[in-house]
Chains A and B, each alone.
Chain A
């Protein structure tokens, strides 16, 4: 394969700084408000479900089962966000959003749902709680932003809570994948061995280990990106309050 003749490094960000930012139309905004309200409500249902189950049982073990269905519905529903970026009503990158949503969906279905034995692990509660708090704040942030009435508290919460929630979620996710490893190896879950007619093999156990390793370069990048965003977003407001 021969590549085109000119080669310079990518400067993709200069394109968006030249075009005027076109927000979504009225219909798209209405749809997005409804979407974000529904998602906020959904994650609130999960939060309430967790609290009620905890109070009813008296312990925090095995709470996954009480919120399994709403978790699956609302986390999978987030796939729509990829569509929003692709269509252009949300100004985020399709690749970045796709990556984030797919990793959540992967953990929900390909790990927690598929390997029954890990469902009673405490690490599951760790990431479910982290996701729940994060998503409630995130979706209400979007809702208020779309309505141009963003309370400072929500903005502050979104760019501050992550300091704890991010590592908490990552820890829960990694521990859960780690707990699933022996069962995947024993049962050969989602794995294909040679010989076969299509000369292909896939070892899900090795794949999960590679996924865990990928957290090492990825997590710090996302974490420091959020820290930089925080300085930009919250730093701004502090200047305004000084002027007032």
Chain B
């Protein structure tokens, strides 16, 4: 029988350096996640998701799956704790971010009192395209809610509450702003009439289908949290053939759907939302692309992050 050497772990506050907790008889194969659970027992308000433990007060936070025996510490480790603030699980974050725009847009579509001039309260627009835009916008967010609940598999990561509130303010605010103009009594339908709306609708529908196909395909990758054994590849579904050209076709299709909606409504706020979304998604796509090329040596050179051949 081998003698197990137990570790001692002392946890100090990053700022004040006072000792918050002392754990003795810690198994050497314990992970940082286990330590966080033990710490949580002494401090019930700091659940593991809101703990950041570091070897150095100014260093990087340790990962939950790091093992104690693999860290550059002796048998007695000193860890520094920082409170990350209240956290929300990813599912909750997305539900909050998507339900807002869905419902808020409808408030404007039905011309709820006090938004527009009182003589228009609870009336409906005479333009066909306004009804179509409402259907598309609502479909977009209902699809997202569906994907959040049934399709996506999230890592156990969380998001700080403050960041979620800020993101919600952005999405909800923008939805209100664009809904205000589309459902306004003085709304002007697109310059090229039914043709413009028809083509825009085709673009929108194709991109929504594409986006869903890509999400479905990413779902079948069998990833464990953020680590994947394989990078995504085109499948039999033609919509996934965009994977030949880009690393993140879900973002490409997303931008495409919003471009479709912009053309359909011919409304500057929608175009602005599309543009800002494109910038943000390009940043995310570039990051994802870098991760892929770093992690997989056989990653195809041909692929661009978000726009085929361009970006």
Chain A interface (Cβ within 8 Å of chain B)?
Answer: 1-9, 14, 17, 194-201
Contact = CB atoms under 8 A, between A and B. Distances in A.
Given A199-B267, A199-B268, A201-B181, A6 B155 contact: yes
Contacts of A7: 87, 90, 157-160, 163
Among A1, A17, A195, the most chain B Cβ lie within 10 Å of the Cβ of A1
Interface of B: 52, 58-59, 61, 84-85, 87, 90, 94, 152, 154-155, 157-160, 162-163, 181-182, 184, 186-188, 191, 225-226, 250-251, 254, 265-269, 277, 280-281, 284, 287-288
Given A7-B87, A198-B266, A199-B267, 14 more contacts: A1-B251, A2-B94, A4-B287, A5-B155, A5-B157, A5-B225, A6-B226, A7-B163, A9-B85, A14-B58, A194-B187, A197-B188, A199-B187, A199-B268
A200 B187 CA distance: 9
Contacts of B188: 195-197, 199
Nearest to B288: A4
B58 A2 contact: no
Contacts of A2: 94, 152, 250
Contact of B267 (A3, A4, A14, A198): A198
A195 B288 CA distance: 42
A90 to B, nearest CB: 24
A8 B268 CA distance: 34
Contacts of B267: 198-200
B58 A8 contact: no
A1 B160 CA distance: 18
A6 B87 CA distance: 12
Contacts of A14: 58-59
Contacts of A199: 181-182, 184, 187-188, 265-269
A197 B265 contact: no
Contact of B281 (A1, A9, A200): A1
Nearest to A198: B268
Contacts of B268: 198-200
Nearest to A10: B163
A36 to B, nearest CB: 33
A8 B159 CA distance: 6
Contacts of A5: 90, 154-155, 157, 225-226
A149 to B, nearest CB: 33
Contacts of B280: 1
A199 to B, nearest CB: 4
A216 B88 CA distance: 30
A9 B84 contact: yes
Contacts of B154: 5
A200 B52 contact: no
B181 to A, nearest CB: 5
7 contacts: A7-B87, A7-B158, A8-B160, A194-B181, A199-B182, A199-B184, A200-B268
Contacts of B94: 2
Among A3, A7, A17, the most chain B Cβ lie within 10 Å of the Cβ of A7
Contacts of A201: 181
Contacts of A194: 181, 184, 186-187
Closest 7 CB pairs of A and B: A200-B268, A7-B159, A195-B186, A199-B267, A194-B186, A5-B155, A199-B181
Contacts of B157: 5-7
A136 to B, nearest CB: 38
A200 B181 contact: yes
Contacts of B87: 7
A195 B184 CA distance: 9
Among A2, A3, A198, the most chain B Cβ lie within 10 Å of the Cβ of A2
Contact of A4 (B182, B186, B265, B284): B284
Contacts of A3: 159, 284
A70 to B, nearest CB: 36
Nearest to B223: A5
Contacts of A200: 181, 267-269
Contacts of B187: 194-195, 199
A197 B52 contact: no
Given A1-B277, A1-B280, A199-B188, A8 B61 contact: yes
Contacts of B269: 199-200
A194 to B, nearest CB: 4
Contacts of B284: 1, 3-4
Contacts of A8: 52, 61, 84, 160
Nearest to B254: A1
A17 B56 CA distance: 13
A199 B269 CA distance: 8
